[in-house]
Structure 1
Amino acid sequence: MKKLIYLLPVIIFMVSCDSRTYEEISDKTPVPDQVRYAVEVKPIVEANCIGCHAPGGSAAYEPLTNYNEVKTNIASILDRIQRPNGDPQKMPKGGSLSPTQIAIFIKWNTDGLIEN
C-alpha cells in the first residue's frame, strides 16, 4: 500500500504532462513580401516596447512612439532584439520577440524602412 501512495503522484504527473514540439508553439505567421511600419512594425512596437520607450515610461530610454523615432533607432533596435536571452542589453526587457517578429524588423530595414 505504501508503494502505491508513492507511485500514484508519479503516475498522475506523467499522465498530465503535455509534450509539444517547437513547430507547434512557434509563431508561424509569414513575413510579408514588403514590410511597412504602419502595418507590421508599429503593432509590434506598441505591444512590446512602449512600456519603457515612451515619455513617462518605466525607464528613461529613447522614445519609440512614432515612425521617425523607430527609423532613427533601427540599428540599435536590431542589435538589442537579436541578443541572446540573459544578456542585460536584450530587448524587450524580461522577454523576447518571436523569430517572426525579429524577421519583420530585419526585413523592414532591408526593404528601406517603408512607412505606409
Structure 2
Amino acid sequence: MFNTLKIKKQYFILCLGVVFSSCLTNIDEEQEIDPCTTVTFSAEVKPIIDANCVQCHGTGGNFPNLTTYQGVSGNASNVKSQVVSRKMPIGSTLTDAETQAISCWVDAGAINN
C-alpha cells in the first residue's frame, strides 16, 4: 500500500512539474513591436523636415513648400520617394532612422498626429 501511495505521489509531483513548466514558456515570449506604430508627424517627421528640408522648400523657396503639415502631407509620397532614393536633401543625407521614420509615417497614411 505504501508503494502505491508513493508512486501516486511521485506521479502527481511529475504532472505538476510538467504543468508549471509549460506555463512558464508562454510567459517569456516577447512580442516584437513595430517601430512604425509609434512614428508621429509632430514628434519625428516635422523635426526632420524642419532641420533638413525647409531651407530649400520653405516659404518663397523651391516647390513643394514643406513648412506646414498640409505642405508635407500633400506631397508625402514624393517626399518619401526623394528621401528613400537619397536624392534629397541635396548637400546632406538623412540617417537610416530618419528615412525609416518618414517612410513609416507616409505608409501609415501621413496623418497629422
Please give the alpha-carbon distance, in whole angstroms, between the structure 2 residues aligned to 1:68 and 1:114.
10
**How far apart are 1:32 and its partner, in Å?**
5.6
Find the counterpart in structure 2 of residue 106 from structure 1. Answer: 103
The unaligned stretches of length 5 or more in structure 1 are 1-30, 85-89
% same residue: 34
**How far apart are 1:83 and its partner, in Å?**
1.8
Instruction: Write out aligned runs for 1:1-116 (5 A).
Output: 31=35, 33-57=37-61, 60-84=62-86, 90-116=87-113
Runs of 4+ in 1 over 2 A off after TM superposition: 31-34
TM-score (norm 2): 0.63
Say how many residue pairs are matched: 80
- What is the root-mean-square deviation of aligned Cα atoms in Å? 1.9
**How far apart are 1:79 and its partner, in Å?**
1.2
Please give the alpha-carbon distance, in whole angstroms, between the structure 2 residues aligned to 1:38 and 1:50.
15
Quick one: higher RCO (CA 8 Å, sep 6+), 1 or 2?
1
Please give the alpha-carbon distance, in whole angstroms, between the structure 2 residues aligned to 1:46 and 1:36.
14
The unaligned stretches of length 5 or more in structure 2 are 1-34
Higher helix share: 2
Partner SS, residue 33 of structure 1: helix
One-letter amino acid matched to 1:83 = S
One-letter amino acid matched to 1:64 = L
Please give the alpha-carbon distance, in whole angstroms, between the structure 1 residues aligned to 2:80 and 2:65.
15
